[in-house]
Structure 1
Amino acid sequence: MRKALRGVLSLAVLIGTVSATGASAGAATAAEPAAKQSSGHTSSSESSSEDIKDRILAIPGMSLIEEKPYPGYRFFVLNYTQPVDHKHPSKGTFQQRITLLHKDTTRPTVFFTSGYNVSTNPSRSEPTQIIDGNQVSLEYRFFTPSRPAPADWSKLDIWQAASDQHRVFKALKKIYSKNWLTTGGSKGGMTATYFERFYPKDMDGVVAYVAPNDVNNKEDSAYDRFFAKVGTKECRDRLNGVQREALVRREPLEKKYKEYAAANGLTFNTVGTLDKAYEATVMDYVWAYWQYSLLADCDTIPADAPNATDQEIWDSIDGISGFSAYADQGLETYTPYYYQAGTQLGSPDIKQPWLGKLSRYGYQPPRTFVPRSIPMKFQPSAMRDVDSWVRNNARNMLYVYGENDPWGAEPFHLGRGARDSYVYTVPGGNHGSKVAGLVADEKAKATAAILRWAGVAPAAVEADPAKAKPLATFDKRLDVRDDELERDRGTLRP
């Protein structure tokens, strides 16, 4: 199931991106000056100067982990020394991983973060392809190996993380002096927003994809309304039926789960019991389907759940939610996320009335998924502050959501104080929604805005945004972005 869905999603992203880059002859001519100076070779001004690696490593606190070859680029995996506490920089440091996809110092730069670990393989976010620029990618603090030792978890908050980005930007801006954009998807889109909120003078634009905005953590009825109408009734009934049946058959399926856990060395110390882990996985099923799948995938869901075999129910839940997700081994990597969800970001709590009284624990809170040795206290003002700031102060900010993505049920909104900022929705889109999937008019407007903010909009696009196209052609290795979507498959995480 998982493999099949990945194939569908890969095709959807590929088709959308190719259509976004397929410029007409006239548009290609208009973009030619910008495209020429970013052909993948260093410019004459850059080639006569000091090697880019030497310039980067001359930055205090920057060290090289490795360099990997990629045609037309230099790709570096780096460590950067950061203060554990930006308010008290003398009280300890840690090494934070960074990657740099270097195109040319004469090109603009995109600052990417997923909000999680950083990939150490060359890749290019959608804005980087659109502007044909450099890309700096940052691993979020406390995701290993970018974790202070010993770990003071009170120093994991959105301001400290934004300050990490600010220091990296200041260090690299001296080399990459052209315009900068920040981007990310899901928690990365949230991270880009928080960076802009705390350091609004750093970036020239923000492109935030599928970024949740849980302003009031105690009020989640928007999610219930979403699940009552998403997709079609037939698809909802199939999903609800399988989820319900998994709880009806708790005893035989938990026996299978126990065998599965023993065979794979899974333990459940953090959540407490196998029963809690089993139910958490089942409770995520409907959400995870809409987060990762498309309406067209619904024919892979058992149509008559009460008459399906135990194996069919197991396979469907495992293929979409993943039974390893809430074992200690599945949770360990994501402890920083659950900590933040339980201290600042907030987390969904949905009713799922079709389950009746079959649930023993309901939607379990983030505290359940964080070791008890780590103290947590929720700060309700954190998201209210960011939401208010975006509504009243957004400048050059673009939000892209997916129509069928549950996380978009609580999106960011723009108020009267916003300027040159936009919120667009991909029809039928899931948590992998991108600019390439927008309807033609909105796709052109979004692309034109990104080019404009980066300072590389061709004259033809300045005159007519409908002519906006990505400046770089699609690269099947750099630009296949399903890794962002696949990373979180199996658990309720943005």
Structure 2
Amino acid sequence: MRNKGISALVCAGLMSGTAVLAGISPAAAAAPTAQAAAAAPVVEDVRAQLEKIPGMTVVSVTQKEGYPFYNLTFAQPVDHKRPWKGTFTQRLTLWHKAADKPTVRYTGGYTLASGTTQITRLLDANQVSIEHRYFAESRPKGAAGDDWSKMTVWQEASDENRIVKALRTIEKGKWIGTGASKGGMTTAYLERHYPDALDAVVAFVAPNDANNRDDSTYERFFKTVGTKECRDALNAVQREMLVRRAALLPKFEADAVKNGDTFEETLGTTDRAYEFAVLDQVWNFWQSGTAADCPTVPDAKKVSDDELYEWSKGHGFSVYQDETLGTNGTGPYYRQAATQLGWADLKFKHLKGVRHYPDIYQPNSVLPAAMRGSYSNKAIADVDRWVKTRGQRMMFVYGQNDPWSAEQFTPSRHDSYSYVVPGSNHGAQIAKLPEPEQSQAVATIKRWAGVK
């Protein structure tokens, strides 16, 4: 399961190597720099072009680093197969520098990301950021918003294809798609269903669960990641958290009261929520940490209850609560995982005899009843085959010690590549690749973008 505590939203934005876009103050807006003033005609010209696009609304315009930054909405069909059935507004932003520069289309796969991607910086490009359908404000109103059957890989790919097609009338350079984690997956799905939308794809730490029934790759990962000493210590801590459940559950319940956490609509009880958080511990340790954190792992048999609990809270023990799992939180991700994206159904052999809920570790467990669904691997298996055989100009970057990088996309031989950053976690970046791979990857991206 994804580490909700670190936040799927952070994984989608920060983990892709973004730098947060600082908001502009009213004072700064009143006194623009010379560079910003020089860009003012571009603001008016591009705004006029945006307002001519059917369904596009310019919500606001600010300045970022001397260039106009547009907050936009775009009218999308709730169902692209039946567009007459109704529409919703999807949020996006455009950071415009020049029409002849490359444009990076970015999605975090969740809510509207506010960062500048490493690919945008590398190419000095324009950037279009898109909020995924059914997340935050990009969700249909009324009954349509509760129809989760329209929360699919193909429907979102169709959303993004329409946006790219519309904005290509303004941004004339090459278009590069990027994203990390679920954003990387979403980028690959767009490329599969609309291969003419983008000119190339660079996806970071994008999981590819093409066969949800076979999680042997994940099992092998946890048997080989790091050192044996670190793996054994982590497993011992995880087991001890369940062995000492009677002593530690009251601490968990006290934290829940203090933080205002409830579990009735999703996991059901504090006991179930506690076990679910424990099951996620080792995964989350490697997702966000590194081997350098291994010396901090305590001796599970010797530490006190307080020491064990406090260390765990800082190293992977992530609480899943009602408040962040419904329609306005990360719930839409888990709906997708339950129905199309798949999940890692780990065996947890080292926890035999101390688990109360053997079937709890799956996405439907953290969803309100109305959002739960049945799984089909048809969509993801199709993408997997296409990427392997027909994908062109696709690059995948993974982290060696990242659990999400265990099941990877395999690129085709059509000008496509895969790189693994040694020792890296879910924040793998091209800048951390060793030479000559780093230079090769950069050169490829620049070639795709038509930039020297």
**Is the pair's TM-score, using the shorter chain for normalization, greater than 0.5?**
yes
Whichever residue aligns with residue 343 of structure 1, its letter is T
**CA 1:42–1:160 in 2, change beyond 3 Å: closer, same or farther?**
farther
Instruction: Say if 2:390 is the partner of 1:396.
Output: no
In structure 1, distance between residues paired with 2:46 and 2:243? 61
Of 266, 272, 288, the residue aligned with 1:292 is: 288
Displacement of 1:293 in angstroms is 0.6
Gap runs ≥5 in structure 2: 20-33
Whichever residue aligns with residue 126 of structure 1, its letter is Q
Whichever residue aligns with residue 140 of structure 2, its letter is P
Report the equivalent of 1:74. 68
In structure 1, distance between residues paired with 2:446 and 2:432? 17
Instruction: Say if 2:380 is the partner of 1:380.
Output: no
Equivalent residue of 1:440, what SS?
coil
CA deviation digits over 1:434-478, x for unaligned, max 9?
Answer: 11111111111111111111111x2xxxxxxxxxxxxxxxxxxxx
CA deviation digits over 1:216-260, x for unaligned, max 9?
Answer: 111101111110110112221221121111101111111111111
Equivalent residue of 1:382, what SS?
helix
CA contact (8 A) 1:17 1:436 kept: no
**CA 1:49–1:141 in 2, change beyond 3 Å: closer, same or farther?**
closer
**CA 1:42–1:449 in 2, change beyond 3 Å: closer, same or farther?**
farther
CA deviation digits over 1:251-279, x for unaligned, max 9?
Answer: 11111111111222211121111111111
Whichever residue aligns with residue 297 of structure 2, its letter is I
Report the equivalent of 1:105. 99
Equivalent runs, 1:156-305 vs 2, <5 Å: 156-269=151-264, 270-302=266-298, 304-305=299-300
In structure 1, distance between residues paired with 2:442 and 2:375? 38
CA contact (8 A) 1:43 1:106 kept: no
User: Larger RCO: Structure 1 or Structure 2 (Cα < 8 Å, ≥ 6 residues apart)?
Assistant: 1
Whichever residue aligns with residue 141 of structure 1, its letter is R
In structure 1, distance between residues paired with 2:255 and 2:42? 60
In structure 2, distance between residues paired with 1:309 and 1:60? 63
CA contact (8 A) 1:40 1:103 kept: no
In structure 1, distance between residues paired with 2:344 and 2:35? 44
Displacement of 1:320 in angstroms is 2.9
**CA 1:49–1:320 in 2, change beyond 3 Å: closer, same or farther?**
closer
Of 123, 134, 153, the residue aligned with 1:142 is: 134
What TM-score, normalized by structure 1, do the two folds share?
A: 0.81
Instruction: Say if 2:125 is the partner of 1:129.
Output: no
In structure 2, distance between residues paired with 1:263 and 1:377? 35
CA contact (8 A) 2:203 2:395 kept: yes
Displacement of 1:429 in angstroms is 0.7
Instruction: Say if 2:407 is the partner of 1:410.
Output: yes
Equivalent residue of 2:134, what SS?
coil
In structure 1, distance between residues paired with 2:35 and 2:305? 54
Whichever residue aligns with residue 402 of structure 2, its letter is D
Share of identical aligned residues, percent?
47
In structure 1, distance between residues paired with 2:18 and 2:92? 26
**CA 1:316–1:67 in 2, change beyond 3 Å: closer, same or farther?**
farther
In structure 2, distance between residues paired with 1:340 and 1:227? 25
Report the equivalent of 2:52. 58
What TM-score, normalized by structure 2, do the two folds share?
A: 0.88
Equivalent residue of 2:330, what SS?
helix
Instruction: Say if 2:347 is the partner of 1:354.
Output: no
Whichever residue aligns with residue 438 of structure 2, its letter is K
In structure 2, distance between residues paired with 1:288 and 1:413? 24
Gap runs ≥5 in structure 1: 19-38, 459-494
Equivalent runs, 1:13-52 vs 2, <5 Å: 47=41, 50-52=44-46
In structure 2, distance between residues paired with 1:78 and 1:17? 20
What value does the CA root-mean-square deviation take over the aligned residues? 2.5
CA contact (8 A) 1:41 1:103 kept: no
CA contact (8 A) 2:334 2:367 kept: yes
Whichever residue aligns with residue 212 of structure 1, its letter is P
Equivalent residue of 1:299, what SS?
helix
In structure 2, distance between residues paired with 1:232 and 1:43? 56
In structure 1, distance between residues paired with 2:303 and 2:449? 54
Report the equivalent of 2:416. 421
Instruction: Say if 2:429 is the partner of 1:434.
Output: yes
CA contact (8 A) 1:197 1:390 kept: yes
What is the aligned length?
A: 421
Q: Segments of 4+ in structure 1 off by > 6 A?
A: 39-44
